[in-house]
Copies of this chain bind each other. A is one copy, B any other.
Amino acid sequence: MPKKVLETMLAKDNFTKWLGIVVDEYKEGYCKLHYTIREEMLNGHSIVHGGIVFSGADSAFAFACNSHGRVSVALDVHISFIDAALPGDVLTVEAKEVHTGHKISFYDVTTKNQNGKIVAMFKGTAYRTSKSVC
């Protein structure tokens, strides 16, 4: 199931493509991916835009929470920005399921740079619809 879910989602996910995201590991309730910071991802202080770091984590969260095959959408997310990232940095994101109930699931997502330093902590809560991803 997870493999088909990922293929179905990636085929449509234009923004994940723009981010240059590569999914490294994927199974039920879990997703690990990486991407590289580019010049066009910078903000007004010439460091990575917070929205980019959020987006990489949000993609991992989306893939992980849809992995059971039910269309799931983000309700609430909290992110703490711990360290900046610069062009050339390779960010690795790991999304882990904390709990999945009938209608709601909770995920913990960590973003680290190529030196293993934490860049951001992200907590996501998803609503599980009754529709199938594929």
Which of B16, B45, B54, B106 interacts with A80 by CB under 8 Å?
B106
A1 at the interface (CB under 8 A from B): no
| Residue numbers in B under 8 Å from A40 (CB-CB) | 14-15, 18
A114 at the interface (CB under 8 A from B): no
- Report whether over half of chain A's contact residues are helix, strand or loop; otherwise say mixed: mixed
Give, as a whole number of angstroms, the nearest-CB distance from A72 to chain B. 9
| Residue numbers in B under 8 Å from A51 (CB-CB) | 15, 19, 51-52, 54-56, 58-59
| Residue numbers in B under 8 Å from A8 (CB-CB) | 44
Identify which of A39, A76, A127 gathers the most chain B CB atoms within 10 Å of its CB. A76
Q: Once bound together, how far apart are the Cα atoms of A90 and B63, in whole Å?
A: 27
| Interface residues of A, Cβ cutoff 8 Å to B | 8-16, 18-19, 39-46, 49-52, 54-56, 58-59, 62-63, 66, 71, 73-84, 98-99, 103-104, 106, 108, 118, 121, 123, 125, 127
